[in-house]
Amino acid sequence: MNGKILITGCAGFIGYHLCKQLFSNHDLVIGIDNLNNYYDVKLKNDRLKNLKISAKSLGCKFIFKKEKLENKNSIRAIFKLYNPDVVINLAAQAGVSYSLENPESYISSNILGFLTILEACKEYSVKNLIYASSSSVYGGNIKKPFSELDTTNHPISIYAATKISNELMAHTYSHLYNIPCIGLRFFTVYGPWGRPDMAPMIFANSILKNRPINVFNNGNMQRDFTYINDVVEVLLKLISLPALPNKGFDRINPDNSSSWAPHRIFNVGNSHPINLLDFINILEEEIGIKAIKNFQNNRPGDVQNTFADTNRIEKWINYKPNTSLKHGIKNFVLWYKKYYGF
């Protein structure tokens, strides 16, 4: 057995793809997801159905638990029963725009839920905790590319604020209880089986139905799109490379990406930001239909440009996300048309 892995958010976009890869090399994978209705529950259930089929075909024992992270007694019971070696926390209330409408759900899921995970990792001596942060933490920063050394004191959405809080909470538990923790700031992950609340799915749906797409900030936005397979490869490599203390940590001039405790922060991006209109052009080419563009002002909470400095993760795991946007979008459109029957 190559260790027991527990994945929260296993029926989510990243969790689904990660679990499928883990089945090949692990005898036991425990998945937790509350299957909430923030977006299409059918998509989550279809991911889950595929996971069960895939695990069975590969001879991996996949145990699924439908549970909210906030239900601490239930989560503690799962940890007690399976005693995982590695925990990968991908479950969260996602989405910048929705955090303006329903901030309470972000505090409950992302703060209280993450606290439950940290407490369970402490109690059951987890050897490696990897958790999802977000590029949104860079907030009002205008220096590019975004570096883990940059401060993150100026979030512009509740979602971002909860992710910054997660990083601070993880560092505290790493310091107090010697839990190796790695926080990953994901940059606009896309690909097959993606999230319907994100631009690729929203745009593809509207273009295929000849409906207008809303182009915010009049198209003057850039995103560092990161293909799902690259993200999963990073996660797989980190399973065997837990955080270590930075022995040269200087408390007078602190490195924001590391610590005297076994806690690290890494950007996970493609390091090639793409203008939103160029992204739409590539999507149009793959779909074969021109988009009807409805240009609008920027939305509150949206970061105008994202650009990841990935030098630190490249050095840590000897890997650089590098899937081209054209290749990634081609795979995404092929899946989208097949899944939704276009």
Q: Which positions are catalytic?
A: 159
Q: Which residues pair with 65 in a beta bridge?
A: 32
Assess contact for 140 and 156: CB atoms under 8 A: yes
Q: In degrees rounded to 5, what are phi and psi of residue 155? A: -65, 155
* Extended beta strands in 269-322, E state: 274-275, 292-295
Q: Which residues pair with 152 in a beta bridge?
A: none
Q: Count CB-CB contacts under 10 A for residue 42.
A: 8
Please report where in the chains the tokens 């479950």 appear, as a residue. 91
Please report where in the chains the tokens 């990243």 appear, as a residue. 14
CA distance 104 to 111: 10
Instruction: Find all residues with CB under 8 Å of 25, minimum gap 6, and list them.
Output: 2
User: Burial code of 149-160, b = ≥16 C-beta within 10 A, e = fewer?
Assistant: ebebeebbbbbb
User: Burial code of 52-87, b = ≥16 C-beta within 10 A, e = fewer?
Assistant: eebbeeeebebbbbebbbbebeebeebbeebebbbb
Q: Which residues pair with 29 in a beta bridge?
A: 5, 62
Q: Say if residue 145 is preceded by a cis peptide, omega within 30 of 0.
A: yes
Sort strands 292-295 and 212-215 into parallel, antiparallel or unpaired.
parallel
Structure tokens at 153: 């004191």
